[in-house]
Every structure is written in C-alpha cells, then in structure tokens.
Copies of this chain bind each other. A is one copy, B any other.
C-alpha cells in the first residue's frame, strides 16, 4: 500500500483507476483508446463530463465549460488573448512560479501587465493582501493555490473588473462562487483527472470580445465553445477518466464534502507540524494551503534518517519542489485521511526517537 503525496499528476480514487483500466480493454466493444471522438458513445462522454463539471461547481447559467489541451502553461496565453480589451492592460498578482509564468506569457502576447502585488520578497511564503486596483485594467488575474510554495487564497480578490483565475491545483477541492469570475482555467492533473486535459469555465458574455490582433483558432475560447470541445480531436482518454472521477466525486458528497475532508486532513497535518519540535511550516499560517502542505526539518542533518522513515512507511512523493527543497505533502481529494495519519505517525515516532 502506497501513500501518494505527489503534487501532480496525483492520486485519484482506486475505483477510477479500475474503471479506466477496464475501459482500455472494453468500452462498448472497443478499447476507449480506439474509439472515434465523433462516435455517439464518446460524444455522450464529453457531454456528461461538461455537465458534471457544471454540477460539481454549481456553474450558473451564462457560463460554458470546455475541455482543451496544453495545461495551464498554454492557459496563460489563452487567458491573456481572450480577456484582452481596449486598454490592453491587466493586473496580475505574483505569488510564485505559475503566477510569474502567467505574467510572462501575457506580456508576450501584448498585454501591458501591472503587477499589483507580489510576495517575491519572502520567497513567496505568503499571499499579498495590500494593493490598490487601477480602474483602467481589462481584467485581474491570480493563481488560487501555489502548488510549489504551499500558499492558497482563502479569500479571493474583490473587484468589479473581470476576474480570471488559474485554479489548476485547488479546483474541485472547495466550494467556490463561479459567478465572481469571467474565466477560470485549470490543468486536470490534480483533482479532476490524469494529465492531458485542461478545463476552461468562461462567462459567455466574455467570449468574442478580444482585441488581440493575433488569435489562432485553437486558442480562441469562442471557437472552442462553439465547437463544444471538438474543434479538433480532444484528449479522449483523459476526458473519459475525468468523467469517471467526476461521477465518483458527486457520488461521494460532491465538492462541499471534499472541502470538509480536505480541511480535516490539512488540520491534522499542520497541527502535527506546529506541535512537533523537529519541523517548521514553510508559509505564513493564515495563507497555508489545504492542498499542498510545505514544511522543513529544523535540523537538515536529520533528513536522510527522516527520508528513510517515511519511505519505510510506504509514503511517496513527499520531497519539496526542486526549486524550494524541504517537504511537500499534497492532500488532493483522493488522498485518504488515513494516509495523512501515517505521515503524522512517522513524524511523531521520528521525534520520539530523538
């Protein structure tokens, strides 16, 4: 039994793996890998997946959902291209690697980026909350959860401007109010499904209003919405597994139940980090992520002994990102609280061995 704390692609429910494997061998008489994306059986998969995204997140009418490819990295470009208006100026919050990437790609397509706030001064260990928002911006962009550093917005920015969010690493982990956003995008490979799909939730009234002189068809959300995620061959298997996972999510209480479980898991682990004399949490307490718990050993010389201990307990995926070091326990929806307890027990035992 492995306890997969990896940051993504990450753990999904075992029943999803089993159903996905079964469909690779037999999906209505063929392998799901050889089914045409135009076959009615797959069109039904895509339609249901889109419906279940809407149901799980309580997406209001007037919004569309599309499945695309390219991850949030292509999403950075797509967001800027589609949300660019007459000002060609937008506000961004720099809360780490992915937020910085979004800024870089927006600039590359001609957006004049105002970085309204940044936590770079403290290696992104907090969410900046002190800023003013100019009125001549086309939109405001932020990254709801910072996978690498372990920070998370507990309150989203409040603004009358169109709000755009890269929600890759905490979408489906908590209840959100989609109506506050013009655009949400997220790589699938955390709480939605395997790598290879990216979802966009876009306000219909925001479509087709870009002022960008450059708009390849694939990157145009209006065309993607008009073609119902079939502008070209979609990532069939990734969408199918996302559907299996969405069904599982809704059968198990939906996003509100996941939020409760995720808070319980995070509380269990943060309490141990704070109690245990050998460890320190990496980020400001009020900004701690419920998805990615980052911490360090107070004495680095203990690291090989600690690493042996958690590995012996069947834990995988615990090392921090290569840019930060330390440890990172990712607590995505499918990770059971029992796995968190195993980690907590390892930490306690490690301390008692002194």
What residues make up the interface of A, taking CB atoms closer than 8 Å to B? 2, 4, 6-12, 17-18, 20-22, 24-25, 29-31, 33-39, 69-74, 76-77, 101, 104-105, 108-110, 187, 189, 193-197, 214-219, 231-238, 241, 316-317, 322
Contacts and interface: CB of A to CB of B under 8 A. Distances in A.
A34 B197 CA distance: 14
Contacts of A4: 30, 34
Contacts of A194: 33-34, 236-237
B69 A69 contact: yes
A12 B337 CA distance: 40
Given A24-B20, A238-B237, A218 B34 contact: no
Given A69-B70, A187-B232, A235-B238, 17 more contacts: A8-B233, A9-B33, A9-B37, A17-B24, A20-B33, A21-B25, A29-B316, A33-B194, A37-B195, A38-B322, A73-B232, A77-B218, A195-B233, A195-B234, A195-B235, A195-B237, A196-B237
Contact of A235 (B6, B215, B235): B235
Contacts of A11: 34
A351 B158 CA distance: 72
B217 A104 contact: yes
A210 to B, nearest CB: 13
Contacts of A36: 6-10, 317
B108 A233 contact: no
A74 B218 contact: yes
B232 A71 contact: yes
A152 B95 CA distance: 51
A334 to B, nearest CB: 8
